[in-house]
Structure 1
Amino acid sequence: MKEKGTLYLIPSPLGGDDPADVIPGSVLERIRSIRRYVVEEVRTVRRYLSAAGLRGHIDELEFRELNEHTSHEEVSDLMNMFTDENGNPTDVGLISEAGLPAVADPGALLVALCHSHGIKVVPLVGPSSLMLALMASGLNGQSFAFCGYLPAKSDERKKAIREIEKRSAQLNQTEIFIETPYRNDQMLADLVATLQPQTMLCAAADLTTDSQTIVSLSVREWKRKADFRIGKRPCVFLILANS
Structure 2
Amino acid sequence: MTQENGQLYIVATPIGNLDDISQRAIQTLGKVAWVAAEDTRHSGKLLSHLGLSARMLALHDHNEKQRASALLQKLQAGEDVALISDAGTPLISDPGYSLVRLCRDAGIKIVPIPGPCALIAALCCSGLPTDKFHFIGFLPAKSGQRQQVLQAIPAGVGTLICYETARRILDTLDDLVAVYGPERELALAKELTKTFEHFAFGTAADIKAWLTEDPARCQGEMVLMIAPSQPVDDEIPAEVQRTLKLLMAELPLKKAAALAAEIHDQKKNALYKLGLSWTGM
TM band (smaller chain): 0.7 to 0.9
Q: Please give the alpha-carbon distance, in whole angstroms, between the structure 2 residues aligned to 1:101 and 1:223.
A: 30
| Other structure's SS at 2:95 match | coil
The answer on whether the counterparts of 2:36 and 2:82 sit within 8 Å (CA) in structure 1 is yes
| Other structure's SS at 1:171 match | coil
Give the CA deviation at 1:71: 5.3
Q: Which moved more, 1:218-227 or 1:32-41?
A: 218-227
Q: Which residue of 2 aligns with 1:68?
A: 61
Alignment of 1:174-185 (within 5 A): 174-185=159-170
Q: Which residue of 2 aligns with 1:242?
A: 230
Match among 16, 27, 30 for residue 29 of structure 1:
27
**Corresponding residue pairs, total:** 227
Q: Please give the alpha-carbon distance, in whole angstroms, between the structure 1 residues aligned to 2:202 and 2:96.
A: 34
Q: Which residue of 1 aligns with 2:188?
A: 203
Whose Rg is larger?
2
Q: Which residue of 2 aligns with 1:39?
A: 37
The answer on whether the counterparts of 2:134 and 2:157 sit within 8 Å (CA) in structure 1 is no
Q: Which residue of 1 aligns with 2:14?
A: 13
Give the CA deviation at 1:213: 1.1
Q: Please give the alpha-carbon distance, in whole angstroms, between the structure 2 residues aligned to 1:120 and 1:34.
A: 14
| TM-score after normalising by structure 1 | 0.83
Change (3 A) 1:80 1:221: same
Q: Please give the alpha-carbon distance, in whole angstroms, between the structure 2 residues aligned to 1:65 and 1:227.
A: 37
Q: Which runs of 5+ in 2 are unaligned?
A: 232-281
CA offset digits 1:179-226 (Å, max 9, x no partner): 234323332343356532331111111111121111122346446647
Q: Please give the alpha-carbon distance, in whole angstroms, between the structure 2 residues aligned to 1:23 and 1:64.
A: 21
Percent sequence identity over aligned pairs? 33
Alignment-mate amino acid for residue 227 of structure 1: T
Q: Please give the alpha-carbon distance, in whole angstroms, between the structure 2 residues aligned to 1:64 and 1:172.
A: 38
CA RMSD of aligned residues (A): 2.2
Q: Which one scores higher on RCO, CA 8 angstroms, separation ≥ 6?
A: 1
| Other structure's SS at 1:137 match | coil
| TM-score after normalising by structure 2 | 0.73
